[in-house]
């Protein structure tokens, strides 16, 4: 492990990552987590784990989803608050998939302010919608996913834009937003993120190698 990597991990970081479906957000989230030695916390993964393992929380979430309702902010907020209390998140964290509403933004800001550890940055992967739709449509055809039509893919992109735009505006106004070109090779994008964070005084830029 290089000295730069050790210093980045010693520093930690408190971050969010947002990006459209198909922009490789999960891959970059993993890279950021490894870079700073912090957990990559995905609310979607937490939901799926609990549903799959039929935990009390999972049964509650499944019942809500099966009824066609959204998981309420109050429940999602509590799940995130509990997760951030774990020892591995004391040094920092990367949230992926949360917050999704303005009420969740308010809750998270207040929670972190109470703990004296506010967010440091929100990394936004920016990518041309037509480029992503073309890529995902091609992948769906190659994998035989006939239900994943271009229309369905484009709809998900539009939903993402509609839901996240208000949140992005809030974080932009707070001076937390870092926008990074999300198109290109994995290591190239990772390098852009590393440099953009370092320019804000969050860690140090380093040679990127994503396995």
For position 142, which CATH number holds?
A: 3.40.50.300
Whether residue 11 lies in the annotated active site: no
Q: How many domains is the chain partitioned into structurally? A: 1
User: How does DSSP classify residue 87?
Assistant: G
Whether residue 145 lies in the annotated active site: yes
Does the residue 210 lie in any domain?
no
Residue 33 burial (CB count, 10 A): 20
Contact status, residue 166 vs residue 101, Cβ threshold 8 Å: no
Does the residue 102 lie in any domain?
yes
Mean pLDDT (whole number) for 165-191: 95
The pLDDT of residue 14 is 97
Whether residue 162 lies in the annotated active site: no
Contact status, residue 118 vs residue 14, Cβ threshold 8 Å: yes
Does the residue 209 lie in any domain?
no
Write out pLDDT tens, residues 95-153. Answer: 998 998 999 999 999 999 999 999 999 999 999 999 999 988 988 888 887 778 889 88
The catalytic position among 11, 62, 100, 117 is: 100
Does the residue 208 lie in any domain?
no
Does the residue 211 lie in any domain?
no
Range of the domain at 169: 3-199
* Structure confidence at residue 174 as a pLDDT band (50, 70, 90): very high
Does the residue 86 lie in any domain?
yes
Write out pLDDT tens, residues 3-43. Answer: 888 888 888 899 999 998 888 899 999 999 999 999 999 98
Write out pLDDT tens, residues 55-100. Answer: 888 899 899 888 878 789 999 999 999 899 999 999 999 999 899 8
The catalytic position among 30, 135, 154, 156 is: 156
Does the residue 51 lie in any domain?
yes
Whether residue 30 lies in the annotated active site: no
Does the residue 152 lie in any domain?
yes
**CA distance linking residue 25 with residue 123, whole number of Å:** 10
The catalytic position among 7, 48, 90, 139 is: 139
């Amino acid at each position: 492990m290089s000295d730069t990597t050790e210093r980045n991990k010693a520093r930690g970081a408190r971050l969010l990552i947002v990006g459209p479906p198909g922009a490789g957000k999960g891959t970059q989230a993993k890279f950021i987590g490894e870079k700073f030695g912090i957990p990559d916390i995905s609310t979607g993964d937490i939901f799926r784990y609990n549903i799959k393992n039929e935990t009390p929380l999972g049964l509650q979430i499944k019942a809500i989803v099966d009824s066609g309702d959204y998981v309420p902010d109050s429940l999602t907020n509590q799940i995130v608050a509990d997760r951030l209390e774990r020892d591995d998140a004391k040094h920092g964290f990367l949230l992926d998939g949360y917050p999704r509403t303005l009420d969740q933004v308010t809750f998270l800001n207040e929670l972190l302010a109470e703990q004296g550890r506010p967010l440091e940055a929100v990394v936004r992967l920016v990518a041309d919608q037509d480029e992503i739709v073309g890529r995902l449509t091609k992948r769906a055809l190659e994998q035989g996913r006939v239900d994943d039509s271009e229309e369905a893919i484009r709809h998900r992109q539009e939903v993402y834009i509609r839901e996240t735009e208000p949140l992005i505006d809030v974080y932009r106004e707070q001076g937390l937003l870092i926008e990074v070109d999300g198109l290109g090779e994995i290591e190239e994008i990772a390098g852009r993120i590393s440099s953009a964070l370092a320019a804000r005084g969050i860690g140090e830029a380093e040679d990127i190698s994503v396995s």
